[in-house]
Amino acid sequence: MEHIVTQPSETAIDIACDVCSQSTRVEGYDQQLVTLQAHWGYGSKHDGEHYEVCLCELCFFRTLSHLRRDRMVNTMFDEEPDITEDEFGLVRIK
């Protein structure tokens, strides 16, 4: 029996996460990645510096977890925290 392997008509580009170096392609779907970026302007300590870091889903949520923890420490003595911990950074759900 002959096995037929179909080749994609175009070479798929696979973008690796800048933190863990793993592929950001999800099997059967497209790339799933986010970009953390900053372009510091006049008056900032890093004027003229431009940063861009590609993150996979796992590394994004690890980063968000660190930020969430910092936020919790910074607001732990507030009488009325303005957001719940689980919603930090969440804009919307489908």
Residues at the site binding Zn ion, with contacts judged by CB under 5 A: 17, 19-20, 56, 59
Tell me whether residue 63 or residue 71 sits nearer to Zn ion (CB atom).
Answer: 63
- Report the nearest approach of Zn ion to the CB of residue 40 (Å): 24
- Report the nearest approach of Zn ion to the CB of residue 46 (Å): 24
Tell me whether residue 7 or residue 21 sits nearer to Zn ion (CB atom).
Answer: 21
Token representation of residue 74? 């910074």
Tell me whether residue 22 or residue 44 sits nearer to Zn ion (CB atom).
Answer: 22
CB 67 within 8 A of CB 89: yes
CB 55 within 8 A of CB 36: yes
What Cα–Cα distance (Å) separates residue 53 from each residue in 13, 19, 22, 36, 59? 17, 8, 14, 5, 11
- Report the nearest approach of Zn ion to the CB of residue 16 (Å): 8
